[in-house]
Structure 1
Amino acid sequence: MKRTDRPRRMLTDWTASSGVAGEGLAALLVGLDQLGPEAYHLVTLGYEVFVLGVGEDQPHVHHVEVGPTELPEAWHRRFALVVSFDVAVVPHVAPCLADGGLLVTIGEADTWPGVEGMGDRLTEVVVEQGPDPEDPMTHRFRAVVARLADA
């Protein structure tokens, strides 16, 4: 898929339909390529966004040069929203999901491994597969996972 200056529709369609709002909340964004458009989209929803990788910081967008396997322990259970475009790193970023938070993963069809072994109190909300709205010849999945809050 050719990258543009627009955020991926698999993300924007989900944020529109789910009604997520991040006023005063933190989001973690992880992917394989430049995530500027996706970061700014999350900022419009009110999130303070932390992007793993190199980039120029902007208001409410902070780039952190650390690999997904080297995340600080202080980040555990910190983020209300975790968005990953790289299914391989999901087990490493899942501990960062706050109680009651959502993790959204978008990737190639049939690559979602499920939540087993990713941490406690994680549950799949929905897993969808189908054509990428920007490239209908490519099939992708979108998985939404929630971390249940302590009882």
Structure 2
Amino acid sequence: MRGPKASPRRLLTDWTTTAGVAGDGLAALVAAADSVADAIHLATLGYEVFVLDPVTPDDAAPPRVHVVDVAAADVPDAWHGRFALVVADASTSGQVAPCVAEAGLLVVVDDAPVPPDLAPGLVEVVVEVGRDPDAPSVERFRAVHARL
């Protein structure tokens, strides 16, 4: 189990580095299991991050990381179209895809194979499948989708 003191997933950090992601003044949503470390990474890139996590108390999170005890299926309608970047796993991606803002991105990291209907209403940008650098015996995918 990963928590606030764990390292963020390299499939996410490698992508943010390669893509030159910068979030100054932008909002991000993280809706994946044990994802506070991923949220902290995005905050270091300048994002104001909201992370769906029923376990970690909000007071354990650093500045610009807001832990919200809301299930992905229950995100408020007011969040639809609000986030420049949404990070999810396959089980939550369809539920949080509406939260992606115009010209925003949804990044999904999960175990391979890639399921169908990963990001309804969004355009597929790239899907990569390969060994997880954090667990080389596991094959995972990273998919990036955009709202154009």
- What's the TM-score once normalised by structure 1's chain length? 0.88
Indicate the residue corresponding to 1:16 in structure 2: 17
For residue 9 of structure 1, report the CA deviation from its aligned partner. 0.3
Indicate the residue corresponding to 2:39 in structure 1: 39
For residue 115 of structure 1, report the CA deviation from its aligned partner. 4.8
- What's the TM-score once normalised by structure 2's chain length? 0.90
> Whole-Å Cα distance in 1 between the matches of residues 70 and 50 of structure 2?
11
Identity of aligned residues (%): 55
User: Helix, strand or coil: the match of 2:126?
Assistant: strand
For residue 36 of structure 1, report the CA deviation from its aligned partner. 2.3
Question: Would the aligned equivalents of 1:9 and 1:134 in 2 still touch at CA under 8 Å?
Answer: yes
Alignment gaps of 5+ in structure 2: none
User: Helix, strand or coil: the match of 1:69?
Assistant: helix
Name the stretch that deviates more: 58-67 or 14-23. Answer: 58-67
Which string of whole-angstrom CA distances, capped at 9 and with x for unpartnered residues, describes residues 87-106 of structure 1? 02111100000000000000
- Are residue 101 (structure 1) and residue 104 (structure 2) matched? yes
Look up the equivalent residue of 1:110 and give its one-letter code: P
> Whole-Å Cα distance in 2 between the matches of residues 125 and 76 of structure 1?
20
> Whole-Å Cα distance in 2 between the matches of residues 50 and 111 of structure 1?
25
> Whole-Å Cα distance in 2 between the matches of residues 91 and 42 of structure 1?
21
Alignment gaps of 5+ in structure 1: none
Question: Would the aligned equivalents of 2:36 and 2:53 in 1 still touch at CA under 8 Å?
Answer: no
Write out the 4+ residue segments of structure 1 that deviate beyond 6 Å after TM superposition: none
> Whole-Å Cα distance in 1 between the matches of residues 115 and 105 of structure 2?
16
